[in-house]
Amino acid sequence: MRKVYHYATVIEALKLLKEKGFEYDYNINDQEIIDNPDNFEIEHIYRYEGNSNPDDESMVYGIKSKSGQKGVFVAGFAANSFNGADKILIDLSIRDFS
């Protein structure tokens, strides 16, 4: 089962994912996730919470496509921050933990 990791900063999570080969930027290419959500699997989830404000929470996803492309997606966790790809990744996360 995949674990959710907690790190001091989003930058630290991105650095560690890059060391594991997750270099593609799905934030820039989020339409790929929106158009074909079944082509992706979440391999890592990193969660960051700000010390003073719950609205500072972020999620960093380590995503792998069926073709083997590894990349990251960073999402804010405020209720109003979700776009199409954010919602799909949340659904993928829930499905993978089921």
Give 12-53 pLDDT, tens digit per residue. 899 999 999 999 999 999 999 999 999 999 998 888 876 655
* Buried b / exposed e along 16-46 (16+ C-beta atoms within 10 A): bbeeeebebebeeebebbeeebeebebebbb
For the chain, give the percent of residues with pLDDT over 90.
44
pTM for the whole thing? 0.79
